[in-house]
Amino acid sequence: MPSFDVVSEVDTQEVRNAVDQTAREVGTRFDFKGTESVVEFDGKLKININSATEDRVKAIINVLEEKFVKRQLSLKSLDHGKGEEAAGARFKQELTLKVGLTTEKAKEIGKYIKENGPKGMQHQIQGDQLRISGKKRDDLQNVIGMLKEKDFGIPLQFENFRD
């Protein structure tokens, strides 16, 4: 039976590159002079931003989002945490990368396929991915098109298309 997997992944090397470019730009821009702004990526899921004021943190996030777009990383993968006051009259914010399909999202996608997709489509949750199978290859391609059009709030990729 033909099938494919729906996943939500982020290329951590591209994220690291975007964060490094943001840090370089923040270090050289005139409007960030004297703010001692810092952008750090922990290598897994968290990006920490620290600066003198809340406005500077928002400006850094804006620069980071520009770098994400240039590197073809989805902005849907960024979860903006709540900004908070840090020690020494500073402001910090933590951004988290959304990676993997949660069970709730997988169920939402599966329900959407059942209601709007071609007949005979089956889905199965496998950890942090969703396997979609059907009788016809064309039906699976139609489902991929449907999922690309609908916004589920996370970036979706389609892998392991098998006949």
Q: How far is CA 6 from CA 19, 47, 138, 147, 163, in A?
A: 27, 25, 17, 9, 16
- pLDDT for 43 equals 85
Q: Which helix (H) or strand (E) segment is 143 a member of?
A: helix 137-149
Q: What is the pLDDT along the chain (163 residues), one digit of tens a residue?
A: 899 999 999 999 999 999 999 999 999 999 888 888 999 999 889 999 999 989 999 999 999 999 999 999 999 999 998 888 888 788 999 999 999 899 999 999 999 999 998 998 999 999 899 999 999 999 999 999 999 999 999 999 999 888 8
pTM of the model: 0.84
In the prediction, which pLDDT does 161 show? 87
The pLDDT of residue 158:
94
pLDDT on residue 8: 92
Q: What is the pLDDT of residue 73?
A: 93
Q: Which domains does the chain have, with CATH numbers?
A: 3-8+101-162 (3.30.70.860), 12-97 (3.30.70.990)
Name 14's Cβ contacts closer than 8 Å, sequence gap at least 6.
71, 72, 73
- What's the pLDDT at 44? 86
158 by Cβ neighbours in 10 Å (0-12 / 13-18 / 19+) ranks as middle
